[in-house]
Amino acid sequence: MLALWVRTVWGYVREVRQLPKLLDWFLGVVEPLLALGFAAALFYLGVRVVLGKASTEERNLIKDTAENWKIVVIILVPLFYRTVRIFLEEVREWAGMKRKPRHEIQADEETKPTASRN
């Protein structure tokens, strides 16, 4: 009976240990989908405004958003911080601007031959 209880509790502990991996996966899937959905909604609204098919509610939404843009920024920056940071890291790596970790730089400096003066 005790062994069964210990196995059951240990099974729950193992599941809880995997929770951060599951949450990282979930965040990795949901954040880009949310960003794409938000961009698609903005594109759709923009097309409707440009073509002159926007309803009065949509026009009022755009007007209110333009007047209260700081609230939009306060909401969007934390929401998309990770997505934008990962994108910028990939752009830097592609452009060759990725820095080496500090310990690698120190190791390179230690192994560099020093120029001796004559």
The Cα 116–Cα 51 span in angstroms is 72
The tally of CA atoms less than 13 A away on the side-chain side of residue 8 is 5
User: What is the domain range of residue 76?
Assistant: 27-98
Encoded tokens for 81: 């911080």
11 found inside a domain: no
105 found inside a domain: no
Q: Read off the pTM.
A: 0.53
Say what the pLDDT of residue 43 is.
93
What's the pLDDT band for 106 if we cut at 50, 70, 90?
low
The tally of CA atoms less than 13 A away on the side-chain side of residue 84 is 6
For the chain, how many structural domains are there in total? Answer: 1
